[in-house]
């Protein structure tokens, strides 16, 4: 069976103002159901590429297709999550999760039931009526994840979603994220600057390099699924880490930091 | 009201038991007012400059409970200040919302509001009297003028300084501008808007009283001036205390609004509101986990 492509970019570029080239000549195809990590140093255009796909910003050149249609703006089959949870402080968890339905005018008993279930799924049983300021950073991100699930989007764009959390919480949430998005339906693009995390999560890692922002390499990660934390010490895993480092080193040599 | 005391300015003050603290407060009070009283009674302080606390207290007692002369002035002043507050706040917030929605308005019209603000409002009093006459309307107009700016600038700032990620979140969810305004901008701005209202409340009272000083036939301001012109200093001081009481009651009202509206800024309130919403949800939808 031929893989169904959900996102395609060719010669995709984004320029800000006269001379800031954030993304240049990006060529990639993303099959449905896959998990892609975008890894690279700060300022390499990872977030810009993510925002191009989300339709939040307009490309300056090239082609970008989602489900064979040019991206012209935000779409309901694409959902986003940010480094900050971006919860509304005056709303309880469940009210935050219901925000997408409120905006689309689709609030009904069914939507409420799904919101409830999503909160259970992300491990927030008994915190349905807590306000964001009563929750820890990790729990706030769980609410944000439940809200993302509530959108019903099957393309999930995650911009360093657990980057501000401590190492232990981050590892746990990564595993839970994998459990939630596994399967043939949900396509995930995950931005990070942590090489191990990028490899651990992904089917494919896009390594990006700055000035101008380019996809320098696309590396298939052929590790067994489901992943578990013990794999991170295997020689295969470390080979991948080395590959990514080599790509980055090759491009960063001689560049001012 | 924030607690600056405990580890900031007062760091190093010895911690006392509640009874000792109360005794300390009593002692300080006694030193200030007892000293003042004794000073006045023994003639060290001229009664025409600073009357004794007991004479002022007696005057207050007389105003409120013997003649009852204060009530009408009190009501008039509160009415003028409140009306001025409502008008000033409505204009200020209305302009701010317009400026937040329309970049053109913000760029070409809003600068006049700033010029308006740096002109001392009180100095406009003669014009206000000339335009609005000697009655209530001139007091209300000055109160509105003096209190218009804080709600304007605070509302505008609050509406424009929205987290960039929140904007992106709403856009990615396909939100309309109107939805974004009501669901994100307004609630995000509420804390700073309410801070502006608190400033405006004080401004409205100042505006009213200054306008009364200038020309009025009723109100606490003119009452105080009449006492002062007759060198009735204890009456003047009593009127001043009445003004403080007004300020205090208006301030308390604003604090109460702050407490009620901004529930997500206080832990005890979040628990209260959270369990209230839980009960409401369970009553409407039942328990999905059951």
Residues A103-161 have pLDDT tens digits of 999 999 999 999 999 999 999 999 999 999 999 999 999 999 999 999 999 999 999 99
Tokens at residue B163, please? Answer: 């987290």
Cβ atoms of residues A32 and A187 within 8 Å: yes
Residues B58 and B124 occupy one common structural domain: no
Structural domain harbouring B85: 65-263
Given CB atoms, is A125 within the 8 Å cutoff of chain B? yes
Could you give the CA distance from residue B138 to residue B144 in angstroms, rounded to a whole number? 10
Residue A201 has pLDDT above 70, yes or no: yes
Which band of pLDDT confidence, cut at 50, 70 and 90, is reported for residue B2? very low
Residues B89 and B169 occupy one common structural domain:
yes
Q: Are residues B172 and B184 in the same domain?
A: yes
Q: How many helices (H) and strands (E) does chain B have?
A: 15, 0
- Whole-number Å distance between alpha carbons of A116 and A129: 11
What is the C-alpha to C-alpha distance for residues A80 and B64, in angstroms, rounded to an integer?
64
CB contact (8 A) between residue B179 and residue A103: yes
Q: What is the mean pLDDT of residues B47-57?
A: 88
Taking the CA of residue A155 and the nearest CA in chain B, the distance in Å comes to 12
Least confident range of A166-175, B10-19, B50-59? B10-19
Mutate to test the interface with B, among A131, A140, A153 (most CBs of B within 10 A): A131
Say if residue A1's pLDDT is above 50. no
Total domains in the fold of chain B: 2
Beta-carbon separation of A103 and B264 below 8 A: no
Mutation site, A89, A132, A149, interface B, largest B CB count within 10 A: A89
B84 and B125 in a single domain? The answer is yes
d(CA A101, CA A10): 34
C-alpha dist (Å) from residue B201 to A17, A95, B1, B205, B207: 46, 34, 16, 7, 10
Nearest to A118 by CA among A136, A153, A145: A145
**Chain B residues close to A151, C-beta within 8 Å:** 173
The closest of A57, A68, A124, A133 to A97, measured between CA atoms, is A124
Q: Report residue B134 as tokens.
A: 């000697």
Q: What percent of chain A has pLDDT over 70?
A: 96
Q: What is the ipTM of this complex?
A: 0.89
Q: How far is A202 from chain B (nearest CA, A)?
A: 24
B9 falls in which pLDDT band (50, 70, 90)? low
The answer as to whether B207 is a domain residue is yes
| Average pLDDT for B148-167 | 93
Q: Angle between the B186-214 and B70-101 helix axes, to the nearest 10 degrees?
A: 140
Of A129, A153, A132, A2, nearest to A66 by C-alpha is A153
Q: Are residues B111 and B240 in the same domain?
A: yes
Assess if residue B70 is contained within a domain. Answer: yes
DSSP B118: H
Interchain proximity A134–B270, CB inside 8 Å: yes
**Nearest CB partner across the interface for B169, out of A78, A80, A117:** A80
Same-domain status, B56 and B168: no
Tell me which H or E stretch contains B114: helix B110-118
The reply to whether B30 falls in a domain is: yes
Contact B169 A86 (CB under 8 A): yes
Same domain, B115 and B192: yes
Residue B4 above 70 pLDDT? no
* Contacting residues of A for B281, CB less than 8 Å apart: 94, 128-129
Q: Note whether residue B239 is domain-resident.
A: yes
Q: Please report residues of B whose CB lies closer than 8 A to that of A120.
A: 289
Give the chain A residue whose CA is nearest to the CA of B179.
A103
Integer Rg of chain B from CA: 25
> Chain A interface, mutation test: which of B163, B171, B172, most A Cβ atoms within 10 Å?
B172
What pLDDT, on a 0 to 100 scale, did the predictor assign at position A151? 94
Pairs of CB atoms within 8 A across A/B: 83
Q: Does residue B6 fall inside a structural domain?
A: no
Closest approach of B283 to chain A, Cα-based (Å)? 13
Q: Which chain A residues have a beta carbon less than 8 Å from that of B170?
A: 103
Residue of A nearest to B284 (CA): A109
Q: Say whether A131 and B277 touch across the interface (CB within 8 A).
A: no
Q: Which of A56, A104, A129 is facing B172, going by the closest CB pair? A: A56
Please check whether residue B132 lies inside any domain of the structure.
yes
How deeply is A80 buried, as exposed, middle or buried, from its count of CB atoms within 10 A (0-12, 13-18, 19+)?
Answer: buried
- State which of B63, B86, B120 marks the end of a domain: B63
Contact B218, B33 (CB under 8 A): no
| B281 within a domain of the structure (yes/no) | no
Going by C-alpha positions, the residue among A39, A56, A45 that lies closest to residue A163 is A39
The pLDDT tens digits of the residues spanning B244-276 come to 999 999 999 999 999 999 999 999 999 999 999
Assigned domain for B274 exists: no
The mean pLDDT of chain B is: 89
Q: Are the beta carbons of A117 and B288 separated by less than 8 Å?
A: yes
pLDDT digits (tens, 9 = 90+) for A213-222: 888 889 888 8
Q: Compute the nearest-CA separation of B204 from chain A (Å).
A: 30
Task: Give me the domains of chain A, ranges plus CATH numbers.
Answer: 1-77+186-257 (3.40.50.300)
Q: Does B288 touch chain A if contact means CB atoms closer than 8 Å?
A: yes
Kindly state whether residues B33 and B145 are assigned to the same domain. no
Distance CA(B56)–CA(A193), nearest Å, equals: 71
Domain end among B33, B63, B93: B63
Tokens of B120: 């001392």
Span A58-78, average pLDDT:
91
The model carries a pTM of 0.85
- CB atoms closer than 10 angstroms to residue A255: 10
User: Does B169 share its domain with B26?
Assistant: no
Check whether residue B51 and residue B100 sit in a common domain.
no
Pairing assessment for the beta strands A61-66 and A214-220 based on DSSP bridges: unpaired
pLDDT band at B1; cut points 50, 70, 90: very low
Nearest of A13, A70, A54 to residue A191 by alpha carbon: A54
pLDDT for res A50: 93
- In tens, the pLDDT along A139-152 reads 999 999 999 999 99
Tell me the CATH number at B235. Answer: 1.10.3720.10
Instruction: Give the pLDDT confidence score for residue A227 in this predicted structure.
Output: 84
B33 lies in the same domain as B140: no
Residues of chain A with Cβ-Cβ distance to B290 below 8 Å are none
Contacting residues of B for A109, CB less than 8 Å apart: 285
Which chain A residues are within 8 Å of B278, Cβ to Cβ?
Answer: 128-129
Which SS3 state, helix, strand or coil, does residue B174 take?
coil
Residue A66 has pLDDT above 50, yes or no: yes
Q: How far is CA A127 from the centre of its chain?
A: 25
In degrees and rounded to multiples of 5, residue B218 shows phi and psi of -145, 155
Written in H, E and C, the secondary structure of chain A is CCCCEEEEEEEEEEEECCCEEEEEEEEEEEECCCEEEEECCCCCCHHHHHHHHHCCCCCCEEEEEECCEECCCCCCCEEEECCCCCCCCCCCHHHHHCHHHHHHCCCCHHHHHHHHHHHHHCCCCCCCCCCHHHCCHHHHHHHHHHHHHHCCCCEEEEECCCCCCCHHHHHHHHHHHHHHHCCCCCEEEEEECCHHHHHHHCCEEEEEECCCCEEEEEEECCCCCCCCHHHHHCHHHHHHHHHHHHHHHHHHCCCCC
Residue in A with minimal Cα distance to B177: A103
Instruction: Indicate whether B108 and B249 sit together in one domain.
Output: yes
């Amino acid at each position: 069976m031929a893989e169904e492509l959900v996102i395609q970019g060719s010669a995709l570029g984004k320029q800000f103002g006269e001379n800031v080239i954030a993304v240049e000549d990006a060529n990639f195809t993303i099959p449905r159901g896959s998990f892609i990590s975008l890894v690279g140093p700060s300022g390499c255009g990872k977030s810009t590429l993510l925002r191009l796909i989300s339709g939040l910003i307009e490309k300056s050149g090239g082609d970008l297709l989602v489900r064979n249609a040019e991206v012209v703006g935000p779409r309901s089959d694409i959902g986003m999550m940010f480094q900050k949870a971006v919860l509304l402080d005056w709303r309880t968890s469940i009210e935050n999760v219901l925000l997408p339905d409120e905006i689309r005018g689709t609030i009904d008993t069914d939507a409420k039931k799904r919101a409830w279930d999503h909160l259970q799924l992300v491990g927030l049983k008994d915190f349905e009526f807590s306000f964001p300021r009563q929750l820890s950073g990790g729990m706030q991100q769980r609410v944000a994840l439940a809200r993302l699930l509530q959108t019903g989007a099957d393309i999930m764009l995650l911009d360093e979603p657990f980057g501000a959390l401590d190492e232990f919480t981050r590892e746990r949430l990564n595993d839970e994220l994998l459990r939630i998005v596994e399967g043939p339906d949900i396509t995930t693009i995950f931005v990070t600057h942590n090489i191990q995390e990028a490899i651990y999560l992904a089917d494919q890692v896009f390594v990006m390099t700055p000035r101008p922002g380019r996809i320098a390499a696309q590396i298939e990660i052929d590790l067994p699924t489901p992943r578990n934390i013990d794999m991170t010490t295997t020689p295969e895993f470390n080979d991948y880490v080395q590959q990514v480092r080599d790509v980055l080193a090759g491009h960063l040599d001689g560049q001012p930091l | 009201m924030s607690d600056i005391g405990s580890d900031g300015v007062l760091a190093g003050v010895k911690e006392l038991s509640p009874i000792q603290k109360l005794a300390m407060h009593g002692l300080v009070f006694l030193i200030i007012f007892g000293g003042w009283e004794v000073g006045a009674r023994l003639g060290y302080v001229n009664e025409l400059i600073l009357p004794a606390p007991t004479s002022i207290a007696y005057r207050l007692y007389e105003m409120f409970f013997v003649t009852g002369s204060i009530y009408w002035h009190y009501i008039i002043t509160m009415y003028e200040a409140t009306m001025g507050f409502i008008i000033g706040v409505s204009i200020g917030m209305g302009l701010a919302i317009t400026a937040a929605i329309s970049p053109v308005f913000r760029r070409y019209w809003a600068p006049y509001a700033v010029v308006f603000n740096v002109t001392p409002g009180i100095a406009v009093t003669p014009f206000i009297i000339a335009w609005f006459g000697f009655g209530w309307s001139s007091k209300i107009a000055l109160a509105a003028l003096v209190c218009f700016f804080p709600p304007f600038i605070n509302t505008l700032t609050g509406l424009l300084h929205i987290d960039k990620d929140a904007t992106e979140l709403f856009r990615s969810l396909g939100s309309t501008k109107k939805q974004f305004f009501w669901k994100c901008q307004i609630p995000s701005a509420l804390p700073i808007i309410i801070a502006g209202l608190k400033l405006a409340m004080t401004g409205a009272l100042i505006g009213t009283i200054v306008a009364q000083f200038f020309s009025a036939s009723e109100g606490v301001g003119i009452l105080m001036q009449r006492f002062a012109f007759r060198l009735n200093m204890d009456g003047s001081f009593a009127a001043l205390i009445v003004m403080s009481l007004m300020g205090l009651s208006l301030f308390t009202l604003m604090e109460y609004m702050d407490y009620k509206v901004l529930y997500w800024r206080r832990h005890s309130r979040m628990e209260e509101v959270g369990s209230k919403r839980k009960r409401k949800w369970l009553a409407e939808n039942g328990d999905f986990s059951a």
